[in-house]
Amino acid sequence: MSAVDGPLVVGVDSSTQSTKALVVDVATGRVVASGQAPHTVSSGAARESDPEQWWQALTEALRQCGDPAREAAAVSVGGQQHGLVTLGADGRPVRPALLWNDVRPAPQTARLIEELGGAEWWAGRIGSVPAPAFTAPKWAWLREHEPDAAAATKAVRLPHDYLTERLTGEATTDRGDASGTGWWAAATETYDSDVLSAIGLEPALLPRVVRPGGAAGTVRACAELPFAEGVLVAAGTGDNAAAALGLGLRPGTPVVSLGTSGTVYAVSQERPADPSGTVAGFADARGDWLPLACTLNCTLAVDRVAALLGLDREAVEPGGGATFLPFLDGERTPNLPAASGLLHGLRHDTSAGQLLQAAYDGAAFALLRALDLVLGPKQGTVPESDGAPLLLIGGGARGAAWQQTVRRLSGRAVQVPQARELVALGAAAQAAGLLTGEDPAEVARRWDTARGPLLEPVRRDEEALERLAAVLGDAGPLLGAQGGSGARA
């Protein structure tokens, strides 16, 4: 290992598909070592993973980091949001975790919203109107469909909580990830007794919420880990809150994240509350808020269309009148959990490349419509967002087709940060802040993580936007019938 200028920290990103670990120099932000190991996710309606795989992947990723990981002074875990991890009396998973993109709890979601005062109640008290992705309806689904598993559950955790607890032996979470459960109230920043009672979940099964800047504990002795016993462990957080830390976001700067799912968000200093349910009023990991909208179908859906067409994902062609809503896994924004893809306007002269471009357009359209709400005055994000470029991150951000589609449909400048693995970098910044007493967002700004090429704005494609809006509106009754929850377009 080459010389470093300061202490080392480890940032972890435990995502849907894999776990990544970065060893970072606190003084410079330089990544001195990295590792990655995959997860297995079930296919079909059930989207589940064995949490033990996450732990195995974490230990393997750390093993790949080698000697630098052994010198780390602090560690933090960022993880996929919303997943339901159920642990038995022995501390082991009772069953595979239900992941965020498992939409089977759609009926339980609708029932919970209605039973507890409707969308206005949820937005005002919890901060978000729950979607099937949220953890609360997942627990309700488990009690209804697998009562024996629910009865055997002695602890309920989120994915990042599970890994942090394996590191420390302490049951903890943070406000950022807790705000995606549906049972943590943004209005009081506590677990909500009415929601817990409605879903039949005992508060004693839940972890302690660590305040921003606090520690989850220290690493306990474990032969599988490279860390010395007593290394500091930060609270960790959900993946989007970790990425916001990794970018050192200032209030109002808009982010478009292109991954398996697509998300749009911005930091706000005011608590958001959107009764339409499109914008989730999440907390961030620092003490502010992170109004966020999410779509289920992003890069994975577009790549699937490319594979069906036998094309490279970049082989798009302009022109053509086809419109494609690629809701291949149902959809979250608009709220259509049982919807499927919809193709309109296909003609003899439509080329495969034009059809692929239509898939890009449909995915980007849903995200950018949601971004308009995220940046609205009700979310407290408007002043700094006016004229600011979109920060484009995630696996799709470096693809030319994604970049050009977002520019064309938004009419805004786009900046693509050069830093990779922003969730793991955000976790590393959180670990560094715990070690030094700094604000983790300031740490990331000191590391200059948002630096990257700026793509100038182009004329917005109003024709494509009008066509997409018209098709989504016309298809609303059909999609709503499939989805069961009605369209919120």
Grade residue 386 by pLDDT with cuts at 50, 70 and 90: low
* Structure token pair of residue 340: 């499927």
Question: What is the structure's pLDDT at 313?
Answer: 96
Residue 488 has pLDDT above 50, yes or no: no
* H or E stretch at 12: strand 8-14
Q: How far is CA 102 from CA 79, 392, 428, in A?
A: 16, 26, 29
35 and 59 in contact (C-beta within 8 Å)?
A: no
Structure tokens at 191: 């677990």
Catalytic residue among 174, 239, 288, 329: 239
pLDDT in tens, 78-98: 999 999 999 999 999 999 999
- pLDDT at 489 exceeding the cut of 70: no
As a whole number, mean pLDDT of residues 447-472 equals 94
Percent of the chain at pLDDT > 90 equals: 84
Q: Alpha-carbon dihedral of residues 334, 338, 343, 344, nearest 10 degrees? A: -60
Percent of the chain residues topping a pLDDT of 70:
94
Each residue's pLDDT tens digit, 311-352: 999 999 999 899 999 999 888 888 888 889 999 999 999 999
Q: Is the pLDDT of residue 213 over 80?
A: yes
Range with the lowest mean pLDDT among 160-174, 346-360, 377-391? 377-391
Q: Average pLDDT, whole number, for the chain?
A: 92
- 239 catalytic? Reply is yes
Q: What is the dihedral of CA 109, 393, 323, 488, to 10 degrees?
A: 30
Does residue 488 or residue 344 have the better pLDDT? 344
